[in-house]
Structure formats: structure tokens, C-alpha cells
Chain A
């Protein structure tokens, strides 16, 4: 087994790191404080090819692979988790399923502008009553000639206000339960489709989390992704890939916080020595870096399986679970290493701590990941 990035992957990683350090680092605290969507840097991420990394060039993407996506996303998250989730959703939850299930005409219209970074896409599955219980979809799409009439609400949609295209999951046949769910691409500006509010959040505050409302919104049949009833499969497939992205985001958050803690442990002195000389701080740093390495390897393993065309659902769930738990633990300890200063906004680890929490929740909570893993090992 070889654990080495290819020359291209290393170059992509280096580019993402340089871009994150020089363009994102200077604004990261400010956009968090102001909960301001970073239009300028997201546009530049599009120009660099970071918004459609694994999508083939023919459809506006960069033609790289999932491993490249993971290493680039980690570098962005190491500096700013908000930018990372904007990038992750565009790549994994929108770009990936539209590429996989879209017809040539759909790819041309709905994928090319998004993969090339000229527009953004969002993924609208969650509803007020359908979070972990994603099968419990109340949004309906009723066929009316060559259109569907979509009615319902979608909650906590990342990039919901910013996106030009929404991948929306609706019941087309309620009697069939989750086999009656279908996927549609709804364009911003379609009458009956509105954004009702933007959430004020604990973390990833510069990302846009919105509620989408559909009221007899007429969506052409040509906008249906896949067949009727295929929607739930499309959603779950997208989330498998998305979990690799969130795992990478969590690894990046943990790494960023760990580096701050390490730096502080070298500089801050107590009882006459740098605090890194105290064994209890050493233990925390050793645990942090070990867990981060483990999370990174699980994430790269899931990405490698996806690139090889092998099943990766369980690997992605393990990576996401372990990376999210690692991010929460590492950022908690990074605040602890900083003591009182860690509680102060000026010291940045506070932001990493708040940003880490969401990785245990979105794209499947840690509990759901355990469910996925347990079902696989029990063969049920």
C-alpha cells in the first residue's frame, strides 16, 4: 500500500494552502463575526477550479479526483470552515449527483455553470420534520402535463440563498414512501420558489444557511434528475460523497486548531517554562495530532475507494464519524491549551471550536453514521 499523493495532488494541495493563507486567512475572523457570505473569495475559488474539482472538464470541472478534492478542501477548512462547506456542498451534494444522474442536456445547463464556479448549486433534502428521518418528506411534486407543481419547505439549506440552482427532493408518489421520492433541479427565480429566511448560527457563520419555500412552483419535467422514485437513492449517494467532504472539512478544522495550540504551547510560559513542557499539555497535543492523522487516513481511504469505483458508503461514514468527533475533541482541547485566552475571540481557536460542532450534525449526525456502520457490519 502506498500512502503518497501524486505530483498533481501535491500541487493542488499547495495551491489550496497558499490561496487559503493569502486570500482567506485575512478575512476569516471578520466574515465569521459579521456572518457575511464571502462572495469575492468564493468567486476566486471558482476561477481556480475548486468548485468542481472531480467533475470532468467537458462539464466545466477541473477533471481531478476525489483525493485531490479532499486535500484541497482540508487546506481551505484549516483556515476557514465556512469557505470549506460552501465548496463541499457545491462539489459533492450538487455537482456530483447532477453529473452522475444528469442527461447531457441537464449537465450542460445545470452543471457546467456550477462546476466552473460561475454559479452555485445547493442540495435541498432536509425539512422541518425530516432531518435524520430523511424519508419523511412532505414536499410534494404533482405532475401537471409537462410540468410538476412543487409545494413544501426545505430547511437548513447550505448556500440556499446564494445558489442559482437547487437540487430539491419531493414526494411524487406518497403511497410508495421513500420509493416515491424524486429529485428536481429548480432554478432561482422560478415563480413560486422563494427563500424565506437565513439562519443565524453558532458556527460556519459566513456560509449561507437558508429556508426554501415552494408554493405551486412549476418545474419542467426536463428538470427532473433521474427517474421518478429514484430521488432517495440520488440523495443517499450524494450524501455518501458529501460525507467524505465533511470529513475533510473536519480534519481541516482540527488541524487548524491543533496548529494554534501547538504554537501557543511553545510560546506561553507558566511555572517558569513553556506550557508545552508540562506533561498534561503534551498529552493533549499528542492525542490531538494522533487523532488527526487517523481521521485524515480514513478520509483519504474513503476518497481512494470512491476514485477506484469501489463501494465507499461505510468508509465514508467511518471517516465522517471519526473526523467530526476528532474535530470537536481537538478544538475543545485547543481552547483548553489556551486557557482563558482560548475563550476570547481574538485567539481564533474559539471560532474553530464553534465551527467544529456542525460536523457532528450535518450530512448525517454522528449517530446516523454509527447506524450506517452498524448496519453494514451486522449485514442487516
Chain B
């Protein structure tokens, strides 16, 4: 079974994000880039499906600038067989729909039986690409997956998705698109052998023209980014206990309207 995992390279979760000189972009200086954590669940699940079935191929794919190769290399180190890098100036500033169109085009070429993604990327948290991709492909889609089981014939997948208070279980005919939620699995660390072997695996550059696509203007445009206002300092209520408690209750009731 061929499985394609779509991943996104994002700033490390520990990054203190700053608005850049162009207020529509973040300042990328000094940022450590990682594979978006939800996408790591998707990679791990794809590898487990392959291992369980004893055969198959896991292809990692990502759209973005040259640095995205590092993220793809991490996926190869974890165990993906090869990678595709959608790397073309035509996709600069691609919004979710343009990204989904490019991914859909490469998926049509690759013809995997299953596409796995993270439920959302942790940078802009749009969470839109998976659904757009499934729509463009005309494939069924289930997101926030906590469990999955592909049947022995590789024709359907049973997926349990997280809903309020429990799991909702679906059977989806394959090919299908699944989006991973935290809890699906515990992603493996790449082993040293995996890391050393990753260099020998292929990362193929894919251009827009290779997919029969041209430059596509984004339908979404970022107007501006604003940093969160600094949190106001806490207020310490002075005075003896009875007075302070009285003031606290008043402040909670009248100022904060919390009680």
C-alpha cells in the first residue's frame, strides 16, 4: 500500500514569534524549524501501517522554500521511503487552497491509497488544507483521528475521530484522507541509522509546471500581523485581611465581573 504524508515545516514550538519588518510576515531570523507536531503523528501512523502490512511505501511531501528539505529529511530519518518537495517560486505566499491544489495535483500523479496529514499546522493553525485536498480529489476525509485500522485487503479504513466526550467511528473507502490528532500514537525518534541513511534517500524537487500548474494568486491575503499585547501585571491588594478580602470580592464582582 502506498501512503502519502503531507507535512508542513513550522517554527519550533519554543520560538518567541516576532512580527517582521514587513508587518504581514514573521521575522524568521534565528528560528529553528521543525516538522509540525501533528504531522509527526501522521508520519508515525503511516510507518506503522507499512510495518504492520509488511510492505508498502511511505512518501513524504511538503510545499515550501528550500529549507523545507530539512523537514523532509527528518521524515526520511524516521523511516519514510522518499520525499517530494513542491519547491517553486510560483507557490510563494500560497494560501491553503493553492497549497491544496498543488498537493492534489501531486497526489493524482502518485496515486497513493491513503493520504495522512496532521489535523492542523501549529504555525497559522488554519486546519484547512486536509478538507480542501479531499474535496479537490473527491475523496472521503476524516479529521482529528485518534485510531485507524486499514482492512486486510487495503480497500477501506476504519477511523475513530475525537468528538466531545468520546470517539466517532467511520468506515471510509480508500483512497481517503485522514488528519491526525494528538493521541493517535507516540512518534518515534529517528535512530542514528535512520539519520545516516536519510541522505541516501531521494528528495525530488517538483515544479508547478511538472504538475501542469501555473502561478496562482492567493485568494487569501494577510493584511497584517499584530503581536499580542503584553499581559498586564497582576494586582496585589494591600491592607489587613478583612479589608483586602472585601476589596477582592468587590474587584472580582465589579471590575472583573467574574462572580
Interface residues of A (CB under 8 A from B): 7-8, 11-12, 15, 18-19, 47-50, 53, 57, 62-64, 68
Contact = CB atoms under 8 A, between A and B. Distances in A.
Interface of A is mostly: helix
B199 interface: yes
Given A7-B73, A8-B199, A11-B73, A18 B192 contact: no
B196 A18 contact: no
B170 interface: no
Contacts of B195: 8, 11-12, 15, 64
Contacts of A15: 189-190, 192, 195
A11 B74 contact: yes
B155 interface: no
A191 to B, nearest CB: 37
Contacts, number: 43
B128 to A, nearest CB: 29
Contacts of B199: 7-8
Interface string B43-79: 0000000000000000000000000001001100100
B189 A12 contact: no
A19 B192 contact: no
Interface size class of B (residues with CB under 8 A): 10 to 19
B111 interface: no
22 contacts: A8-B195, A8-B196, A8-B199, A11-B190, A12-B192, A12-B195, A15-B189, A15-B190, A15-B195, A19-B189, A47-B191, A48-B191, A48-B192, A49-B192, A49-B193, A53-B192, A57-B196, A62-B193, A62-B196, A63-B192, A63-B193, A64-B192
Contact of B189 (A48, A62, A68): A48
Contacts of B189: 15, 18-19, 48
A48 B16 CA distance: 31
A57 B193 CA distance: 8
A22 B199 CA distance: 26
A48 B77 CA distance: 12
A49 B191 contact: yes
Contacts of A47: 191
A68 B196 CA distance: 11
Nearest 4 Cβ contacts at the A-B interface = A49-B192, A62-B192, A11-B195, A49-B191
Nearest to B195: A11
Contacts of B77: 11
Nearest to A10: B70
Contacts of B192: 12, 15, 48-50, 53, 62-64, 68
B55 to A, nearest CB: 23
A63 B190 CA distance: 15
A48 B196 CA distance: 12
Contacts of A18: 189
Nearest to A62: B192
Given A12-B192, A15-B195, A64-B195, 20 more contacts: A7-B199, A8-B195, A8-B198, A8-B199, A11-B73, A11-B77, A11-B190, A15-B192, A19-B189, A47-B191, A48-B192, A49-B192, A50-B192, A53-B192, A57-B193, A62-B193, A63-B192, A63-B193, A63-B196, A64-B192
A4 to B, nearest CB: 14
B193 to A, nearest CB: 5
Contacts of A11: 73-74, 77, 190, 195, 198
Nearest to A19: B189
Contacts of A63: 192-193, 196
Contacts of B196: 8, 57, 62-64
Nearest to B32: A14
Contacts of B70: 7
Nearest to B70: A7
Nearest to A51: B192
A53 B191 CA distance: 11
A47 B190 CA distance: 10
Contacts of A7: 70, 73, 199
Contacts of B74: 11
Contacts of A19: 189
Interface string B173-201: 00000000000000001111101101100
Contacts of B190: 11, 15
Nearest to B199: A8
Contacts of B191: 47-49, 62
